[in-house]
Amino acid sequence: MIQHVEPEGPYVIGEALDEHGVDIDLRRIYRGDELPNDLEGFSGLVVMGGPMSVTSDAGFPTRRQELALLGRALEEHLPTVGVCLGAQLLAQAAGGSVYAGHGAEIGFGIVRLEPAAHDDYLLSSLLERQTVLHWHGDTFALPEGALRLCANDLYENQAFCVGGTAWGFQFHFEVDREAVYAFVDAFEGEVIASGFDPRDILAEAPESLGRLIDLREQVTTRFAFLVAAFQPVDDSLVQR
């Protein structure tokens, strides 16, 4: 699991993995933790958010290594989730493109499940409209072969699946009350500069987090099950 900045931790994703008996190897980039050179011995990959840009190494020394790890995860069909920045990294690693959006999207809002979501392992059976936490300015084009799972009127690519085992979520589904307060405290200046009021986000948090519970619990629990059950493919058994 890769964490880029202190406030954007794994939160409920980490809790679900722990409940399923998964040993979490958390690499905190902001503390100087090194990333593994490969994914041997790992049963899943989670890449969290952060204020960096996928399009530049500036302030993002691990960018190229993270893209390489995500590429390996796709090749090895490793259960993978990218959140916010992590979703953008996954999109680029899979062949998509990341670029500046037409405006910041910050605070609680609605996404709608697209038709492909109804057959998706993580999202099936959920209601069509879901409340989530947005916190991004950049966006991405879907990689070839990816399935769009969630959208809204501001940004059409809010969630996707690629390769059958890797999911990117532009929004934050993993958050709880602690996370919302940590985000607002750490990024208050960004919120205000983007034309939003941090007080509104905090005021909306109790009700919006209540609406987020079904999505959060289902996605984290089902993903944790995939990681706990993962068995690597034996290359010697693959016909060449």
Q: What is the pLDDT of residue 238?
A: 37
What's the rounded mean pLDDT across residues 181-188?
A: 98
The domain total for the chain is: 1
Query: Does residue 139 lie within any of the structural domains?
Result: yes
| 51 pLDDT tier (thresholds 50, 70, 90) | very high
Residue 232 has pLDDT above 90, yes or no: no
Boundaries of domain holding 138: 2-232
CB-based contact 69:45 (threshold 8 Å): yes
Q: What is the pLDDT of residue 233?
A: 64
**Which residue did the predictor score with more confidence, 198 or 239?**
198
- For residue 90, give the nearest of 132, 29, 48, 126 by alpha carbon: 48
What is the pLDDT of the chain when averaged over all its residues? 96
Q: Tell me whether strands 147-151 and 97-113 are parallel, antiparallel or unpaired.
A: antiparallel
Q: What is the pLDDT of residue 234?
A: 57
Query: Does residue 199 lie within any of the structural domains?
Result: yes
What's the rounded mean pLDDT across residues 16-45?
A: 97
Residue 235 has pLDDT above 90, yes or no: no
Q: What is the pLDDT of residues 123-134, one digit of tens each?
A: 999 999 999 999
Query: Does residue 237 lie within any of the structural domains?
Result: no
What's the rounded mean pLDDT across residues 206-212?
A: 98
Q: What is the pLDDT of residues 151-183, one digit of tens each?
A: 999 999 999 999 999 999 999 999 999 999 999
Query: Does residue 119 lie within any of the structural domains?
Result: yes
**Whole-angstrom Cα distance, residue 107 to residue 109?**
6
pTM: 0.95
Query: Does residue 27 lie within any of the structural domains?
Result: yes
Query: Does residue 238 lie within any of the structural domains?
Result: no
Q: For the domain that residue 205 is a member of, what is the CATH number?
A: 3.40.50.880
Q: What is the DSSP string of the chain?
A: -EE-STTS--THHHHHHHHTTPPP--EEGGGTPPPPSS-TT-S-EEE---S--TT--TT-TTHHHHHHHHHHHHHTT--EEEETHHHHHHHHHTT-EEEEEEEEEEEEEEEEE-GGGGG-TTTTTS-SEEEEEEEEEEEEEPPTT-EEEEE-SS-S-SEEEETTTEEEESSB-S--HHHHHHHHHHHHHHHHHTT--HHHHHHHHHHHHHHHHHHHHHHHHHHHHHHHH-----GGGS--
Query: Does residue 25 lie within any of the structural domains?
Result: yes
Q: What is the pLDDT of residues 65-121, one digit of tens each?
A: 999 999 999 999 999 999 999 999 999 999 999 999 999 999 999 999 999 999 999
**Whole-angstrom Cα distance, residue 81 to residue 226?**
11
